[in-house]
């Protein structure tokens, strides 16, 4: 279902986020992670013919989560953790620790893979 172009675009966002983390620009990196999530959810909605709102993609995540209870619970958790991560960094509600960038990159990668599997 997922086209190579869509996967490449999401991966490009993740690669750019990784570079920003390496440059110690956590806010820019987290915004790129959110862009990867947004891109993935928008593409799933388009392919499925689901209506969506660019400013609130949670209903798309919820539809995906309903397809498999166990995987859906994980998907919802990944989405909430990653989508709100930039706000926590921006407003200083997040204390940066070693390894956080790698953990969040794994969360978003996992989310993207899980979202596409649930969309099949």
Summarised one tens digit per residue, pLDDT across range 45-88 is 999 999 999 889 999 999 999 999 999 999 999 998 888 776 66
Sign of CA dihedral 67, 84, 59, 102: negative
More confident residue, 3 or 15: 15
Q: Residue 2's pLDDT is what?
A: 53
Q: Which two tokens stand for residue 47?
A: 């392919």
* DSSP 3-state of 41: helix
How many Å apart are CA 69 and CA 33, to the nearest integer? 25
User: Is residue 95 over pLDDT 60?
Assistant: no
Q: Residue 1's pLDDT is what?
A: 47
Grade residue 6 by pLDDT with cuts at 50, 70 and 90: confident
């Amino acid at each position: 279902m997922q086209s190579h172009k869509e996967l490449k675009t999401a991966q490009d966002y993740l690669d750019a986020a990784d570079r920003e983390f390496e440059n110690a620009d956590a806010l820019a990196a987290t915004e790129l992670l959110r862009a990867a999530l947004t891109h993935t959810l928008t593409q799933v909605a388009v392919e499925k013919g689901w209506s969506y709102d660019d400013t609130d993609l949670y209903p798309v995540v919820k539809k995906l989560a309903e397809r498999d209870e166990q995987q859906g619970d994980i998907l919802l958790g990944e989405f909430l953790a990653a989508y709100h991560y930039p706000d926590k960094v921006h407003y200083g509600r997040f204390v940066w620790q070693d390894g956080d960038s790698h953990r969040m990159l794994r969360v978003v990668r996992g989310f993207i893979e899980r979202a596409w599997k649930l969309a099949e």
